[in-house]
Amino acid sequence: MLTDMQIRKASPKERAYKLSDGSGLHLFVTPAGGKLWRYRYEFGGKEKLLSLGPYPDTTLSDARAGRDRAKELLRDGKDPSTAKRLKRFKAVEGASETFEVLAREWFDLNRDHWVKHHADEVIRSLEAEVFPSIGSLPTREVSPRDVLEVLRKIEARDAKETARRVRQRIGSVYTYAIATSRAEHNPAALLVGAMAPMVKGRQPAITDLEVARAMLRHVEATPGHAVTKLAIRLLALTAVRPGTLAETPWTELPPGSDMWIVPAARMKLRKHLKNDDRRDHMVPLSRQAIETIGALRTITGRGPLVFPNARHAHKPMSENAMGYMLNRAGYHHRHVPHGWRSTFSTVMNERFPADRAVIDLMLAHVPKDAVEAAYNRAQHLGRRIELAQLWGDLITEGLPPPMDLAALPRL
C-alpha cells in the first residue's frame, strides 16, 4: 500500500508508470509530472479504468474511498464508469434546469394565451420578486421554506395580494415541471395556510350622491392639470374602467357622436374574445359627457390620444394620475378612480331598481349565468341612453361647465 510520502516523492520519468496501492487502485505518473488516480476493474468480461481524480486535489484517502464506492457498484451489478457519466450528465442537466429557466419556459408556453398587459405583469413579478431569491436554484431543490421566504418579503411591504399571485405563479411553474418530469413536488402548494391573512375588501368608493358631487367640486378646485380633472369628470359620467379611459384614442370619439364604442380589444376580456366585435362596449354619451369631450378636444385634439402622457404625448396618461388627483383633493383611502363604477351602480340601482340588468350592461358586466351570457344579446340601447342622461344630470348638478376647466392654467 502506498503512503503520502511515496506519492509526494514520485518523480516523472521518460515514460509513464504506475504506483499500485492494491485492489486495483494505482497512481498513474505521467512524463510531464502529472499524478492521476485510477481504478482498474473488470465488467462484462472486459478490463476497464475509472479515473478518480488528480493528486493532490484527490488525496490518498479520497482515492481509496472512490475505489470502495466503485466496488459497491460492481457488487450491485453496475458499471462504475457508466454511473460516473450518468452522475455528470445529471449535474449538467440539473444546472440547466434552474427555477428561472423552467419558469421562463412555462411563461413562453403561456404568454400567447394572455393579453399583453397580463403577460407583462406576470414576467415582471417573477423577475422582480422570485428570480433574485430562487431563480438560480435547481428546480428539484427549491423547498417550501425557500418559497415562503420569497412570499414573506412581499408581505412585509403590505402587498398581500401580490404575494398570493406570486405563490400561484410559482405553483403553476411547478405544475408544469411535474407534468414534464422535471420535479416531483410542488413547494408552493402547501403554503396557503402559512401566508399572512388578508381581509379582501372592495375598492374604496363614495356611493352617496351628494358626497360624490362634493368630491367632484373639491377635485376640480384642487391645483392640478386640466386634462386630469376632465378625465375624472368623464370617468364619473361614463363609469368605464379607468384603464380603458386613460388609453382612449380620438378615433373612438369623432366630433358629433353621441355614442362611444369601445372595441373589444380594449375591454377587460379574455384574449380569445378580444377580436369578437360583438363584445364591443357601447357607451351612450350624455350631454354633459359630450361637453366634457369637447373641452378636452380644445386641449389634446391635435394628437392621437384623448389623455396623453404629460411628458410623452404619444403615450397614454397613467391611470395613477387620476388616483393622485383624488388623493390631493383629500380622498385617499376614501375613493379611487375605479370607485366611480360603484358610485354609478349604487345610485342608479337605488333609484331605478327595475333597470338592474340594464345598469349592468352599462358597466360591461358579464352575466353570471353562462347560458344567459351566450344567448341574451339584448342591448337595451334606448333605456341605456335615457339612464346615461339621467345620471349625467344627477352627478354634475352644480358643477361649472367643462370649458371652465379647460381654461384653467395647465400645471
Question: What are the residue numbers of the active site?
Answer: 241, 268, 338, 341, 365, 375
CA 15 → CA 7, 21, 31, 50, 198, distances in Å?
A: 17, 20, 6, 21, 75
Alpha-carbon span 117 to 354, nearest angstrom: 36
Q: Around Cβ 356, how many Cβ atoms within 10 Å?
A: 12
Task: For 69, list phi and psi in degrees, rounded to 5.
Answer: -65, -40
Alpha-carbon span 180 to 178, nearest angstrom: 5
- In sequence order, which residues have a C-beta less than 8 Å from that of residue 1 and are 6 or more positions away? 21, 22
Unique residue bearing C-alpha cell 378580444? 274
Alpha-carbon span 84 to 359, nearest angstrom: 70
Greatest pairwise CA separation for the chain in angstroms: 106
Cis-peptide into 80, omega within 30 deg:
no
Residue 242's Cβ-count burial label (10 Å; 0-12, 13-18, 19+) is buried
Three-state DSSP at 44 gives coil
Q: Around Cβ 86, how many Cβ atoms within 10 Å?
A: 12
Cell of 320: 395613477
CA 378 → CA 280, 353, 373, 381, 385, distances in Å?
A: 13, 18, 10, 9, 14
**Which among 316, 319, 292 has a CA at the least distance from the CA of 230?**
292
Q: Give the 3-state secondary structure of 142-183.
A: CCHHHHHHHHHHHHCCCCHHHHHHHHHHHHHHHHHHHHCCCC
**Which among 197, 330, 306, 313 has a CA at the least distance from the CA of 251?**
306
Alpha-carbon span 385 to 312, nearest angstrom: 35
